[in-house]
Chains A and B, each alone.
Chain A
Amino acid sequence: MIQALWKFEFLQNAFMAGILIGVIAPLLGVFIVVRRQALIADALSHITLAGIAASLLLGKYFTFWQGINPVYMGMGFSAAGSLFIEQLRKVYKHFEELAIPITLSGGIGLGVVFLSLADGFNSDLFNYLFGSVIAISRSDLIAVAIITVIVVMIVTLLYKELFFLSFDEEQAIVSGVRAKWIHFIFILLVAFVIAVSMQIVGVLLVSALMTLPVAASIRIARGFKQTIAYSIIFGEVAVLGGLVLAYYLDIAPGGTIVLLSALILLFVLLFKRMKQWKS
C-alpha cells in the first residue's frame, strides 16, 4: 500500500484530505454535540448535496462552469442552509427541532431533482451519497486544506467564547459574549466542514464523523479540552484505519470509516462498563 500511495495521486489526496477532515469534523462535532444539535450536520449535508447537484447542472449548460469545483457551490448552499435553519428555529420557537427535517428533506429533494436534470443520477449520485476516494482531486484537497486552516484558527481564537456559550448561553451573554455573531460564525464553519468532508464520507455518513468520535470521547474524558483531544484521536483512527481497510478489502471507504467510528464507540462503552463493574 505504501508503494501505491507513492504512485497514485488520488490515494495521496484521499489520505491527506482524510487526515485533515479527521481533525476538523470531530473538533466542531464536540461543540455541536454538547449543544444538543447533533442532527444539524445531517440537515446541512443534504443541503450540500443540492448545491453540488446544482453546480453539476450548471456545468451541463455552461461549459465554463465545468472548471469550477462543485464543492464550492455545495459550501454556498450549506452556508445558506445553516442560516435558513437558524431562521426556521425562530419561526417555530416551540418546535425548534422541526427546522432539521424541513431542511433535510428540502435539501435531498432539490438535490435529487437537480441531479436527474444533470443526468448525473448514476455514478455521481452514488459517489456523493456514500463518498468516494477516487473522486478527490488536487483542487478538492486544496479546498479541504484552506477550510482546515480557517476552522482551526477561528476555533482557537474564539475557544473561550464558544465554550462558554455552549455551557451556559444566558450567563455568557450577561458576561458580554456576543452570542449572535459567534453563533453565526460557528454555523458557517460547520457548513464548510460538512461540504468538504462529504466528498470522502458522503452525505449520508458525514454527520457520523462529527458525532460518533465525540460520543465515545465524552464517556471517558475529563474536562472539555480532553474531550476535544480524544474526539480528534478517535476521528483520526477511524478515518485512517477506514481508508487502509477499504483499500485492502476493496470496500466503500465512507462506510468503513463510519463503521470503525461505531466500533471505537462500542469499545469505549464496553471499557467504561468493565471499569464500573470492577469498582
Chain B
Amino acid sequence: MSTSNNLIDLQNISFHYGDGYVLEDISFSIPKGAFVGLVGPNGSGKSTLIKLIFGLLKPQKGHVQIFGKKINKFHDWSKIGYVSQKANSFNSGFPASVFEVVSMGLTSKLGLFKFMKAHHRKAVIDALHLVGMSDFASSNIGELSGGQQQRVFIARALVSQPEILILDEPTVGVDANSTSDFYELLGKLNKENGITLLLVTHDIGTITDKVTHVACLNKTLHFHGETNEFEQFNERELSGFYGHHVHVLSHDHDHGGI
C-alpha cells in the first residue's frame, strides 16, 4: 500500500523510557477507511504507541508520519479525534452540560480568542445525533450512565469532523451491554460515515467481527494485517504472545468491499 493512502505511518519505531525498550522496531500503518484493532496485554506499550502518534513522546529510532507529513511538520491536530481511557474518569460532579462537553471538541478547530457561531452549535447537535445522544444535550454529564458518557466523548471527538478517530481502551468501566452497543456504534461510524478508526484494547475477542485490520502488540508487533488473515494466526502463537492460553472466538465475517 502506498504511503499516501495511509493516514498514520510508523516506520521502524523503537522507544524506551529509561531502561529497556518498551517498543522495538514497530512498523505500523493505518490506511484510510480502515477500522484497526490494536490489541495487547497490559503493559505491552499500547499507550506509549498512542503517545508517539500524538507527538507527546519522541521515538529514539524510526519515524512517525501523519497524513503523509513528518510529525514535527504536522499541525492540523483537529483532523485526529481522540477518546482516552480516562475520558470517563473525570470528576462526575463537574457542572458541565452534555452540549458543553461536546463543544470542547471544537477548541482547537476554533483557535484562540474565537467564539462559537451558529454553525458550530449545529455541528455539536449533529455530533450528538450521530451517537444517539441528542436528547441529553442539556443534561449534566455526571447524571449519565458510563455507556452514555462514553458516547458523549465520542461525539466530542467527532464534532471537529476528524478523518481518524483514535480510541484508547474506551470501554474500561462500561458494562457489557453498553460495550457491545458501543462497538456496534463504532462499526456504523466506520462503515456508514467513512471514519477511519484505531481502537486500542486488551479485549481481543469482542472486536474481531467489527474491525478490518488487527495489530497485536507486545513490545514488538506480533501480527499486523487484515482481519481474515488474523484468523489463521493460530491460537498457540496468540497464547505465547499473551503469556497464557487464549481462546479466539469465532465470528461470522462480513467485510464487504474493504
Contacts and interface: CB of A to CB of B under 8 A. Distances in A.
A associates with B? yes
Interface of A: 34, 36, 157-158, 160-161, 163-164, 166-168, 170-177, 217-218, 221-227
Nearest to A223: B97
A212 to B, nearest CB: 16
B108 interface: yes
B144 interface: no
Q: Which 5 A-B pairs have the closest CB atoms?
A: A223-B97, A176-B108, A227-B95, A175-B108, A164-B104
Nearest to B99: A223
A160 B107 contact: yes
Interface string B54-79: 10100000000000000000000110
Contacts of B54: 174
Main secondary structure of the interface of A (DSSP, over half): helix
B91 interface: yes
A167 to B, nearest CB: 6
Contacts of B78: 175-176
Contacts of B112: 157-158, 161
B249 interface: no
Interface string B127-150: 000000000001110000000000
A231 B91 CA distance: 19
8 contacts: A158-B113, A160-B116, A163-B104, A174-B77, A175-B108, A221-B95, A222-B140, A223-B100
B93 interface: yes
Interface of B: 54, 56, 77-78, 82, 84, 86-87, 90-91, 93-97, 99-101, 103-108, 110, 112-113, 116, 138-140
B87 A168 contact: yes
B136 to A, nearest CB: 12
- Residue among A34, A160, A170, A176 with most chain B CB within 10 A: A160
Contact of B77 (A161, A164, A175, A223): A175
Contacts of B139: 222
Given A157-B113, A176-B77, A171 B82 contact: yes
A217 B108 CA distance: 29
B62 to A, nearest CB: 21
A224 B108 contact: no
B84 A170 contact: yes
A38 B53 CA distance: 36
B140 A223 contact: yes
A199 to B, nearest CB: 30
Nearest to B137: A223
Nearest to B111: A176
B97 A222 contact: yes
Contacts of A167: 90, 94, 96, 101, 104
Given A223-B99, A223-B100, 20 more contacts: A34-B91, A34-B94, A160-B103, A160-B110, A166-B94, A168-B104, A170-B84, A171-B82, A171-B104, A172-B107, A174-B56, A174-B82, A175-B82, A176-B78, A176-B108, A177-B108, A218-B93, A223-B95, A223-B96, A225-B100
B138 A222 contact: yes
A170 B47 CA distance: 13
